[in-house]
A = this chain, B = another copy of it.
Amino acid sequence: MTPAEARKRFRAGLSAPTAGWAPGRTQANLIAVPADWAYEMLLFCQRNPKPCPVLDVTDAGSWTTPLAPGADLRTDLPRYRVWEHGELVEEPTDVVAHWRDDLVAFLIGCSFTFEWSLAAAGVPLRHIEQGRNVSMYVTDRPCRPAGRLRGPMVVSMRPVPPMHLAAAIRESSLLPAVHGSPVHCGDPAGLGITDLDKPDFGDPVDAEADDIPVFWACGVTPQAAVMASRPPFALTHAPGHMFLTDARDEQYRVA
C-alpha cells in the first residue's frame, strides 16, 4: 500500500497503529501549537534533537506539507489527540473541527522509519511480529527546556537478541533524522523505568529470554512536554498512530 492509499483510508475513518505500514516510507509524529508557542517548540526541538528531529514545519494555519503533496494534516492521520492546558480532552479520528488559523504544525521523525533498515539487517521486530503497538515509556531524563516548554524524554523500546544488537545500533545510527542511535540499552532502571510490562504509551511486548531491551528517543516527547508545560491548546497524533509521508527513508540515511 502506498502512503497516499493509506492516508485515504485514514481520512475515511480507519484507525490503527501504523508500525509496518507503507514499507520504506517515512512516518512522522505530529504536534501543532498556537503560533505564539511555535518559536519555543522549534527551539525545544533544536535543543533536544534525539527525541525531536524536525522533518517539517508548516506556515501558521496551513495543513499541507511538501513531505506529502495532497495530504491534509487535519484528516489523514489514523487518530489524534486534542490537548487543552496540558489535559487530554479528546482522541478523534480527524481534527477538522479543532483546527485554528494560528496553528503551526511540526512533523517530527519517528522510529518506525528505521524499522525497515533493522528488518533488512535481520533484526527481529517483536511488536510487529506480535501485531502490537511499540512500547513507549516516560523516562527520568529531563529535556533541555526552551522558554515555557519543558518535560521528560520519552523512549520507545524494542527487545533485541544479543546477536542482532550491533546491527540495530549501526542501522539506526545512520538515520539521525529519525532519532538515530539508541539512548540506552539494558537495565530499564537506567532511565528510571520500573516495569517494562507497563508502558506509558502503546502496548507491552513479549521479549525472548535473552533479548536486550534497547531504548530509542521517541517523538511522543513533545506530548510529554505539552502535559508538563500546559500550553492552552495543542493537537498531536495518538501515540503509534503516525502521519505517513511520501518521503523515502533512504533520503534521511547519511551513509
- A254's partner among B42, B46, B47, B174 (CB-CB below 8 A) is B174
Chain A: residues with Cβ within 8 Å of the partner, total of: 16
- The complex places the Cα of A20 from the Cα of B49 at a distance, in Å, of 28
Main secondary structure of the interface of A (DSSP, over half): helix
A185 proximal to B (CB < 8 A): no
Chain B residue at minimal CB-CB distance from A46: B54
Shortest CB distance A113–B (Å): 15
A198 to B176, CA, bound (A): 36
Q: Which residues of chain A from 206 to 255 have a CB within 8 Å of any chain B CB?
A: 254-255
A254 vs B114: C-alpha distance when bound (angstroms): 14
**Known: A176-B176, A255-B255. Contact between A46 and B57, CB under 8 A?**
yes
Question: Given B42, B54, B57, B254, which contacts A173 in the complex, CB threshold below 8 Å?
Answer: B254
Supply 24 A–B pairs (Cβ within 8 Å), ascending by A. Answer: A38-B39, A39-B39, A39-B42, A42-B42, A42-B43, A42-B46, A43-B57, A46-B46, A46-B54, A46-B57, A47-B57, A170-B255, A173-B254, A173-B255, A174-B254, A174-B255, A176-B176, A176-B254, A180-B254, A181-B254, A181-B255, A254-B254, A254-B255, A255-B255
Q: Which residues of B contact A181 (CB under 8 A)?
A: 254-255
Which residues of chain B are near A39, meaning CB under 8 Å?
38-39, 42
Tell me the number of copies of this protein. 2
B-chain residues with CB within 8 Å of residue A254 when the two chains form the complex: 173-174, 176, 180-181, 254-255
Give the B-binding residues of A (Cβ under 8 A): 38-39, 42-43, 46-47, 54, 57, 170, 173-174, 176, 180-181, 254-255
What is the bound-complex CA distance between A84 and B136, given in angstroms?
Answer: 49
The answer for the CA separation of A42 and B47 in the assembled complex, in Å, is 12
Chain B nearest CB from A145 CB (Å) reads 10
Chain B residues closer than 8 Å to A38, beta-carbon distance: 39
Q: Told that A170-B255, A181-B254, A254-B254 touch, could you supply 8 new A-B pairs with CB distance under 8 A?
A: A39-B42, A42-B42, A42-B43, A47-B57, A173-B254, A174-B254, A180-B254, A255-B255
Q: Which residue of B lies closest to A54 (CB)?
A: B46
Closest to A60 in B: B147
Q: Nearest Cβ in chain B — how far from A173, in angstroms? A: 4
Shortest CB-to-CB span from A171 to chain B, Å, is: 10
Bound CA–CA A149/B38 (angstroms): 17
A176: nearest chain-B partner, CB-CB:
B254
Kindly provide the distance from the CB of A102 to the nearest chain B CB, expressed in whole angstroms: 13
Residue numbers in B under 8 Å from A170 (CB-CB) = 255
